Structure 1
């Protein structure tokens, strides 16, 4: 499934940023990625509007 690959790539990016955090639930990771994606989209959208 391609979406799963995309999620794994973003999780790897987060691991590079925060260091490899062991013992963190996968669901929390996915939720953080989703929240971050929303924030990024809103930031880009607002940036384009200005």
Structure 2
């Protein structure tokens, strides 16, 4: 079974985006807006 993301933890990054790793495939599937991230998927570099 493949894990799905729901998008309920979507956040807008106001500052510090350069400190986050690139978007995961699941994040890219939910939004292509550069400032929107899924907090459950985003990782600090």
TM-score range, shorter chain: under 0.3
Normalising by structure 1, report the TM-score. 0.21
Higher strand share: 2
Normalising by structure 2, report the TM-score. 0.22
Higher helix share: 1
Q: Report 1 or 2 for greater relative contact order, CA contacts < 8 Å, sequence distance ≥ 6.
A: 2
